[in-house]
Amino acid sequence: MSDSPLYLYTHPDCLKHSFAGHPERPERLSAVMDRLQQSGLSDELTLLESREADTSDLAKVHGHRLIEDLFANERADAIVSLDQDTFLSPGSNRAARLACGAATEGVRAILRDDTRRVFCAVRPPGHHAETDTAMGFCLFNTVAVAAAVALESPNIERVAILDFDVHQGNGTVDIFKDDSRVLVASSFQDNFYPMRYMEYTNPHVVPCPLSAGSGSHEFRRAIKDSWLPALERHQPDLILVSAGFDGHRDDPLGGLRLETDDYRWITRLIREQADHYCGSRVLSTLEGGYDLNALSDSVEAHLTELLN
């Protein structure tokens, strides 16, 4: 095991973001935490309770109107629809701020050298949230807020955000598309939601589309061919991960055919790249994954590799 503790940030109030019949449901996080307990993996982790992110941190990547509108639109007695996929329930703003707070506290712990590896077991997910738009189950962009906080440190000049998910992290691209300090490399199912920024490229924006039905071979080859040269060019001081597990063959929302071992493989690759470029500094935050067994299996594999 690593000689640096793996910090896991979470909070029970992330379960309060809830509306009946939605795939992004509280049981996702409960299943993950239950699995870590049952497997004994939680004994290997330093479990920490997150705090809500400050508005000043959210405002590093989001417009004040989005932040204020989300707060103003939440009701104590009703579900509010933001779009066909994205809703506010009582407690949603607190859950989203706790998710971002987990990531910002994790980054600051890494910068203090308290730890070198962090996982944020939080919800709602974040990588679809654009500068001024909540969408795709996402309210605030958790990984983008973490990157902005990291870049305020004099010791962090360049950050890499590595996003594996069945959906393109359009929000992360939107926020950093003109900021060459942030490499945004993402794998996703082609011709699929969100249909925004999927073909966008800048030298620091590296899309890695996969055809529907792609499995282990296609995924691993595409990651090696696109991510590794990009990381070599970028030379990051910190790696952040948007960890989505909805590319799993058992997931109900996507059309990729990945196995649990593919998540073990990509986590090992990320860990090795972090060892090489940035003193092993990695922060990962939970994005998609909607089959509870596949999600729990995959997160367990992900954390086992981060611990190694």
Q: Which is catalytic among the residues 17, 62, 127, 128?
A: 128
Rounded to the nearest angstrom, the gap between the alpha carbon of residue 83 and the centroid of all alpha carbons in its chain is 21
248 catalytic per annotation: no
**CA–CA dist 135, 80 (Å, integer):** 13
Catalytic sites, residue numbers: 128
